[in-house]
Amino acid sequence: MKPELLALLTDEDWRLMSERATRRTFEKDGVALQEGTESRNLFFLQSGYVQVVRNFHGLRLTVTRLGPGEVFGEMSFLERAPAMASIIADGPAQVLILPEQEIESLLRSVPGLASRLYQSLAVTLSRRLRRIGDTGDESIGSTRTARTGFATERQLPPGLAQAVDGIKQGLQQIERQLRSHGLALEQAAAGVAGACDQICATLERFTRDDVVVDAGMADLLSFRDTGAVRAGIGAYIFRETFSVLMTSALVSRTFAMPRGFPDDWESIAAIHASEPAGDGQLGPLVDRWFLQRPLCRARRASAAAVGSLLSSLLGDGPAAVTCLAAGSCHEILELLGGTQGDGVTATCVDLDQGALLAAAERAEDLGLSDRISFQLGNVVPADNGEQLLLPPQRAIFAVGLLEYLGDEAALRLLDWTHRQLQPGGTAIFTNLAEGNTDALFMEYLLERKVRHRSAEALSELFRRSSFGGATVTAEAGGADLLALATRA
Amino acid sequence: MSAIVPGKSTGPQLPARYTNLDSAHSAHGSRIHAFGPALMQGDPLADALVEYFASRPLGGGRKQLEQALDHGIESVRNPHPTLAALFAQLDHVPLWVDFEQLDLGGSVYLRLGPLGQLALGCAALPLAYGSPAGVVPLVFTGRLTQRAFRRLIETTQFVFLTCKPGGLRRQGEGFKTTVRVRLMHAQIRRLLRQSPKWDAQAWGVPIPQADLAGTSLSFSVVVLESLRRLGCSFSARESEAVMHLWRYSGYLIGLEPQLACATEAEAMRMGDLIAMTQGPPNADCVALTQALMNVTMHMAQTPAQRKAAQQWCKFLNGLTRYFIGAERADALQLPNTRLRFALYPMRLTVMFFEVLRRVIPGVNALAVRVGAKTWSKSIEIGLAGVKVSYELPEHPAARSTP
C-alpha cells in the first residue's frame, strides 16, 4: 500500500521502494525508532498505530500518534540528525523500513525519483506543521481585550458606584478588624462571602437588559450599543473589586491564566483540593468563598459524576479510555487508581505540556505509568481536516471543554470523537449550563468567554453530530450539564 | 371586531398600536393605509450612521459628527459612506425652503414668550404623552417621571434654538441641535431594538416616522391652535411661516417628505388620524403627564415656594384641560381645578395685548425681543448652569390637535 502522503510517487517508484524495504512487525510498546539514535532510514506504517514519544526528564509524553499510511523518520533522514522522538507501537504495527543506502541507490538510478520523493516528504512535513499550527477557528487559549472605552462616565447607572463602594468599605472593615484581632475567623469568612456575593449580585443587577438600555440612553451621542455599555459596567466593577478579588489564589490564577489556557491543570487541581489560599488577611477568605461558588462546585460534581459513569461503563475488563483536554488528569488517575478498572488503559490529551508532565509524574508516583499515555495535542480537529489519531476507544470524555468551543468547532470535535470510538463506545462531555449563576462573574470579572448552553442546545448539538443524539442531565447545582452519547 | 386588522389592511405587518381602524377608515378613508407603514419605518440614513458609529472607538463617532456639523462634511477625512449620505441629505436645501419665512415663523414663536412655553408644556407634551405606544421609549428609560423636568427644559431649549433668527441655517445652532437629536433618535431606536423587551409586533419600530410626524404637528399646529384659544392671533402669513418652520425642522430630523405637513389643514387631518388610531392613554401616560404637571415642584425650595408651586400646578392642570379638552384630560387623570377660571381674565389680557401689538408700530418687534429673553431666561433657570447634553431631549410624539 503506497502511503497516502507519498502520493507524488509513481506506482513504479513505490514498487521499487517496497522491494528494497524490510517489513517488520512491532508488538505493543515495541520501539521502531529510539529518540536520540542516528537513523537515516525511512519508515512507512502499513498497519496499526504508533506513538511519537518524547522523553522529558524521564517522563514520557506522546507528541502525536501516527496511523496506517503515515511516514516517520523523515526528519532524521533529511537533516542527518539524531531522532528527535521515539516511535513506539501502540499495538501490533506493521512497518516497511527503507534503509538509507537503498534510498540513495534508487535516487541515483531512477530518473525523477529524487524530486518526487523530496517533494512528498516536504508535503508530509508541511502537513505536520499545519497540524501543530492550525487549531481551527476556535482557540481555547484566549487573549484579553482592553477594559476601557466601552461606556462613558454618564452611562454608569445611578447607584452603581454607591453599591460598589459599600462592598469595598465592608471588606476594608473586615480586614481592619482581622488585623486588630477584633473578629473571629468564621465571622470574617461569613462577612467576606457576603461581600463577594454582593459583588455578583451587583453585577447581575446592573447588567440587566433594562438597566443597560437605560444606561445607554444616558449618553446617546456616545453611540454605544447595549453590549458595549454592559461591558463598560462590567469593567467598572472589575476595576473597583480587582484588588480584593485578586488576593485569592484561585481567582487570581483563573483570571491570569498563567499557562495561557483557562481551567489549566493547576486551577483544576486547586478546585479539587479545595484548600483556600491567598495573600493578606482577605485572600484565603475570598478563595474559600470562590471554592464554594457554583462554578467550582460544578467542576467537582461533574468530575465525580464522570468518574462514576466511567467506572460503571468500563468495569474491570480491558478497555481503552481517552480524556480530552485532560489538564490534571484527575478523573483518569482516580479511575485507574481505584479498585476498579484494572484492565483499563488510558490516554490523556492536552495542549499543555506542563500539565501532562505533572500528570505523568503523578501517574509514576501511583505506579500507573504503564497504563497511561500522555499525548500532547489539540483535540479539536482543524478546519483543514488534520486531527489526532487514536486507536479505537471504549470511552472518550472531556470535563469543561465544550463550553470553550463554538458550535462548529464543537461539532468537529464530536464527529472526531465518534470516529475514534469503537462500536458501542461512549462519549461523555460536560458543558456549563445557561443556569450557571457564576456566568456574569466569569465573563466580566474573570474575563472568561464561555458558551453556556441550555440542555436543549446541547442535545441539539449532539443531534447534529455523528452521534445523532445524547442523554443530557444537569448536575445538582444546575451549573453544569453532562451529555452521554454512544456510537452505534 | 375590527374589519380592518393591522397586518391585513396593507402590505407590511402593522403593529398592534395602530388601532380603531374601522372608525378611522370612516373618517379618513384610504389615508389610514398610507399612514400605517410609517409606524414601521425609522430613519434609514441616521440608522445606518449610528450602526457605523457603534463600531468606532468611544468618542470617535461624536467627533466625526461634530466635525461635519461645524466645518462641513468636506472637512472630514475619508468620511464613511453613511456619514456622507446623511450630510448629503442635510446639506441639500429643498426647493420649497424659504429662509425668510423660517425666521418669521421663529419670531412668531419667540414673541409668544411664556405663552409659547405654556402651549408646549400644557398642550403639545400632554397630547404626546397620551399615546401609550409613543411613551414606551420613555418607559424604557426606567426613570419615566424623574426626568420630566430635564426633558421639559431640553425641549424648550430645542424649540428656542430652532426659532432663533437663522437657527435652521446650515451653521445655526438649531440646525446642529436638530441633527444631534436625529442621531439620538436613531441611537434610541438601536438600543431599544437590542432590548429583548421591545415588542415590535405591538409597538412597531421605536420612534417611527409616524411619531416624527406627530412631533412636527405638536410644535406647529398644536401650539398655534392652543395659543389661539388663549387669545393670541396670527395672520395667515404668520401661521403659514410657523408651519414652514416645523416642516423644514422635520426634514432635518429625518421626517419623510410625504409626512411633512405644509398647511394647517393637512396637519389637522393628520393629527386627527393619529389621535383616532393611537388607543387610549395607559398608566404610563398618566404618570408621565402628572410628572410634567408637577415640574415646578422640582424648583421649590422653601415652604412658601412649595405652596406657590402647588397653586401653579393647579393652574397648569386647568390650562391643560382647557387646551386638550375634558375627555383627554379625564383619560390622563388630570384634576378639574377651580383655577381653570383664571383662564378667562388671562385670555382677555392676552387679547388686549394682541390688539396693542397689531396697532402700535414697534410693539411687535419689542414683543419678539422680550419673548426671546423670556425663553432664554427660562432655559437658563431650568438648566441651573448645567450644560445641555441632549441626553434624552423631549421630542414629543404628539398625535393630535386639540
Least confident of A64-73, A399-408, B41-50: A64-73
- Per-residue confidence band for B384, with pLDDT thresholds at 50, 70 and 90: low
Q: What percentage of chain A carries pLDDT values higher than 70?
A: 94
The residue-averaged pLDDT of B144-161 equals 84
Q: B367, B357 in Cβ contact below 8 A? A: yes
Instruction: For chains A and B, count residue pairs whose Cβ atoms are closer than 8 Å.
Output: 77
Collapsing DSSP states into helix, strand and coil, what is residue B45?
Answer: helix
Q: What is the 3-state secondary structure (H, E, C) of chain A?
A: CCCHHHCCCCHHHHHHHHHHCEEEEECCCCEEECCCCCCCCEEEEEECCEEEEEEECCEEEEEEEECCCCEECHHHHHHCCCCCCEEEECCCEEEEEECHHHHHHHHHHCCCHHHHHHHHHHHHHHHHHHHHHCCCCCCCCCCCCCCCCCCCHHHCCCCHHHHHHHHHHHHHHHHHHHHCCCCCHHHHHHHHHHHHHHHHHHHHHHCCHHHHHHHHHCCHHHCCCHHHHHHHHHHHHHHHHHHHHCCEHHHHHHHHCCCCCCCCHHHHHHHHHCCCCECCCCHHHHHHHHHCCHHHHHHHHHHHHHHHHHHHHHCCCCEEEEECCCCCCHHHHHHHHCCCCCCEEEEEEECCHHHHHHHHHHHHHCCCHHHEEEEECCCCCCCCCCCCCCCCEEEEEECCCHHHCCHHHHHHHHHHHHHHEEEEEEEEEEEEECCCCCHHHHHHHCCCCCCCECHHHHHHHHHHCCCCCCEEEECCCCCEEEEEEECC
> Cα A107–A110–A114 angle (5° rounding)?
40
Nearest CA in chain A to B46: A223
* Chain A CB contacts of B61 below 8 Å: 221-223
Nearest CA in chain A to B198: A210
Query: Dihedral sign, CA of A193, A194, A198, A201?
Result: positive
Please answer yes or no on whether B142 and A218 come within 8 Å at the CB atom: no
Q: Taking the model in full, what pTM does it have?
A: 0.80
The answer, yes or no, to whether residue B396 has pLDDT greater than 50, is no
CA distance A342 to chain B (A): 54
Q: What pLDDT is attached to residue A173? A: 96
**What is the per-residue pLDDT across B56-79, written as a single tens digit (0 to 9) for each?**
999 999 999 999 999 999 999 999
* Chain B CB contacts of A225 below 8 Å: 54, 190-191, 194
Assembly ipTM? 0.82
Q: B96, B241 in Cβ contact below 8 A? A: no
Q: What pLDDT is attached to residue A163? A: 97
Residue A48, all three cell numbers: 496499526
**Candidate from A209, A211, A221 with C-beta closest to B196:** A209
DSSP category for residue B205: S
CA distance A246 to chain B (A): 28
* Chain A CB contacts of B54 below 8 Å: 223-225, 228
Q: What pLDDT is attached to residue A61? A: 86
Please answer yes or no on whether A221 and B184 come within 8 Å at the CB atom: yes
Pick among A152, A211, A220, A236 to test the B interface (most B CBs inside 10 A): A220
The residue-averaged pLDDT of B148-175 equals 92
**What is the per-residue pLDDT across B272-304, written as a single tens digit (0 to 9) for each?**
999 999 999 999 999 999 888 888 787 778 888
Q: How far apart are the first and last CA of chain B?
A: 28
The answer, yes or no, to whether residue B127 has pLDDT greater than 80, is yes
Sequence-separated contacts (24+) of A404-411 with Cβ below 8 Å? A404/A138, A404/A140, A404/A262, A404/A449, A404/A450, A404/A451, A405/A138, A405/A140, A405/A380, A405/A451, A406/A137, A406/A138, A406/A451, A407/A461, A408/A137, A408/A138, A409/A136, A409/A137, A409/A138, A409/A380, A410/A461, A411/A461, A411/A464, A411/A465
Q: What pLDDT is attached to residue A135? A: 47
Q: How far apart are the first and last CA of chain A?
A: 30
- Per-residue confidence band for A136, with pLDDT thresholds at 50, 70 and 90: very low
Q: B386, B265 in Cβ contact below 8 A? A: no
Q: Which is more confidently placed, A471 or A210? A: A471
* Chain A CB contacts of B56 below 8 Å: 223
Nearest to A347 by CA among A327, A316, A371: A371
CA distance B61 to chain A (A): 7
* Chain B CB contacts of A217 below 8 Å: 140-141, 188, 191, 391-392
- Per-residue confidence band for A383, with pLDDT thresholds at 50, 70 and 90: low
Q: What percentage of chain A carries pLDDT values higher than 90?
A: 59
Provide Rg for chain A, Cα atoms: 27
CB of B387 within 8 Å of a chain A CB? The answer is no
CB of A209 within 8 Å of a chain B CB? The answer is yes
Nearest to B223 by CA among B257, B250, B246, B248: B246
Gap between the Cα atoms of B203 and B133, Å rounded: 6
The answer, yes or no, to whether residue A198 has pLDDT greater than 80, is yes
The residue-averaged pLDDT of A37-53 equals 89
Average pLDDT value for chain A: 90
- Per-residue confidence band for B222, with pLDDT thresholds at 50, 70 and 90: very high
How remote is the C-alpha of B86 from its chain's centroid?
A: 22
Q: What pLDDT is attached to residue A143? A: 64
Q: B274, B400 in Cβ contact below 8 A? A: yes
Nearest CA in chain B to A214: B141
Nearest to B277 by CA among B183, B176, B399: B399
The residue-averaged pLDDT of B234-256 equals 97
- Per-residue confidence band for A5, with pLDDT thresholds at 50, 70 and 90: low
- Per-residue confidence band for A233, with pLDDT thresholds at 50, 70 and 90: very high
Q: B170, B164 in Cβ contact below 8 A? A: no
**What is the per-residue pLDDT across A253-264, written as a single tens digit (0 to 9) for each?**
999 988 877 888
**What is the per-residue pLDDT across A446-469, written as a single tens digit (0 to 9) for each?**
998 899 999 999 999 999 999 999
